[in-house]
Structure 1
Amino acid sequence: MKKIAVLTSGGDVPGMNPAVRAVTKAAIYYGMEVYGVYRGYEGLMNGELKKLELKDVGSIIHRGGTILGSARSEEFKTDAGQQKAIDVLKEYGIEGLVVIGGDGSYKGANALMQKGVKTIGLPGTIDNDIRGTEYTLGFSTAINTVIEAVDRIRDTATSHEYTFVIEVMGRDAGDIATWAGVATGAESIFIPEKSLSSEEMVNRLKQGYDRGKKHSIILVAEGVGTAQEFADYIKENTKYEPRVTVLGHIQRGGSPIAFDRILGAKLGTKAIELLKEGIAGKALGLEKNAVSIYDFDYVFEKKETTDIESLYNISKILSI
C-alpha cells in the first residue's frame, strides 16, 4: 500500500489531532504517502484533499479539535454520494482510508469498505459509547473538563448554600455524567441507562438538608431531559431555589490530556500497520491497555453497560 488518507468526522473531540499526527507520521515512516481529507465525508466527496508532510503535523499533538475539520453530510449516506467519494480516492490513487469518529463515521467507513475501499476506524467521541473499546478518544479529556467545571460550581454552591443542577453531554450514553458524578461527589445522577425517579432525587435532597447539608450537586445527561426541567421539579416540590448550569460544548474543547494523546498515538500507529499488512474493515479500540481490533459489524451492536451500571451503583452508595 503506497497511498492512504485520513479524515475526521462527526463531532470534534480532544485527541483527534494526536491521532491524525500518529497516522501521518506512521505512514511516512513506513514509506507511504498520506493525504488529509478536510471536512469529513463532505470534503471527501468534493475532493478537498491535501498531501500531508511531517511539518503539517509537527505542532498539533497538544491542540484540541481537529486540524482537518469536520462536517455533516446527508449526501454521503446515499449510494451516489459514496460513489463520488470512491471516485475521488481513485483519482488520487489512494488505497486505504483511516476514519476517526463515532458510530455514524464508522457506518460511513463500513459502507466504503463494502464497495472496495480498505478502511480502518478509530473511535473519536466524548460519549464513550462505541463497542469494542473501554475508552474513546476525547472521553477522558471531556471528563476532566466537566470535573473542573463542577468543582468550581461547588465552590459557589458551598458559599451560598445552593443546589445546582448541571447538564452534561450524553444523548444516548451516560458515561460522562456517571464518571464525572462519582469523581465530583454528586448527590444525584440522571443517565439514559438507569432510571432514578425525580421523587428519589427530592428525597435525597431533603435527607441531606435534614442532616445539615447546605448544598447539593445534581448531574443530568442531556438524553434524560434538560437541567431546567429537573430544577423546576425541585422548586415545585421543595423549599429550595436550585440553580442551573448547562456545560454545553466546552466539554468538547481544550487541549487533550496525556491519556488521549497516548491513545491517539497507539491507535493511529496501529491503523497504519494494519493497512500495511493488507488488513482492513476493522475498528480499533483499547481494552486492558492493549489495542483491540474488531469487525465493524461487531461494533454496531449495542454497547454493554455493565461497567457504567457498576459505577452508577457506586455513586448511589457514596452519595448518602
Structure 2
Amino acid sequence: MLPLHIKNETSRLRAVVLGTAVSNGPTPNIEEAYDPKSLEHILAGTYPVEKDMVKEMEAFYQVFQKYDVTVFRPETIENYNQIFARDIGFVIDDIFIKANILPDRERELAAIQYVLDQIDPKKIVRPPEEVHVEGGDVMLWNDYIFIGTYKGSDYKDYITARTNTAGVNFIKELFPNKIVKDFDLVKSKIEARDNALHLDCCFQPVGDTKGIIYKRGFREEADYMFLVNLFGKENLFHITRDEMYHMNSNVFSIAPNVVVSERNFTRLNNWLRKNGFVVEEIPYAEIAKQEGLLRCSTLPLIRD
C-alpha cells in the first residue's frame, strides 16, 4: 500500500506521479486549444513537438532519480497529451482527491489506475459532478489550504476557469481542521499574459518561509495582501508579467532546500541560490508553451 502523506509543497519528496509526453499526438487545431498560450503557439507555428517534450520530461525524471524519489508514470494513451498530471488529482494529508476535469481528459485518470490500486480505497475521494477543482489550484501550506478560483458570474464561459466555489466548499467540508483560503484569480481566454490558469501560475511557496508571487494574478488586492502579510514581503520574490507568462512561479520543490527550475529563469534562480536553495536547472521551455510547467507535470503522493 502507498501511505499517502502530503502536508505542504516543499517537504522532502518520496513518491510522485510524473506525466509523460510519449505519444503526445499531433498539434491541436485552433478549436482544440484549452488555453490562450497554446492557441498563441498553434497560430504562430511554434507549438512544441513530441521529441523535444519527451527530452525535457526525461531531464526532470533524471533529477528525481538523483534524489532517490519513487516515480510513477501514466500508462500511455495513444496520441494524447498526458503531460500535466497535476490536473487529474491531488493529495491532501492522506486523501487522494480525483479532480472533475474537462470531460475530454477523463482517460488520464484511468492511465494511473495501477497507482490508485495501491492506495487504500477508503482514502480515495471523488467529488460530486458540480464540484470543479484541479490540482494546480490547490496548494498546501501546513495548516492552510490555498485554493485558486474564479468568482466571476461568467465562470461557465471560461475554459480557463478550472475551480469553482463549490470546489472550495467541498475542500472546506472535507478538511474542517484546516484553514481554507480561496483566491480569486484573473482569467483571460485571449491574452496568456493576463491569464492565471491556476493558482500555481501566480504563487507558490518555496522552502519553509519563502514564496514566488505575481501581484496582478489576483483579482482582489486583499488576496495578494493576505499572502504578503502571511509570508512577509521580504520573503516573497515578485515576478513580472512576462515572467508570469513564462511560468516562473511554476517550479517544483523536492526538499525544503532543493528546487527544480527552468534553466532560463535567470533572475529567479539567482534569487533562490542567494537564499540558500540548491537549484536543479533543466530545460522545460517547450512544455511551457502549453501554459504549464514543472509543478503542473507532477502529482506528489508522499513527502516526509
The TM-score, its normalising length taken from structure 1, stands at: 0.24
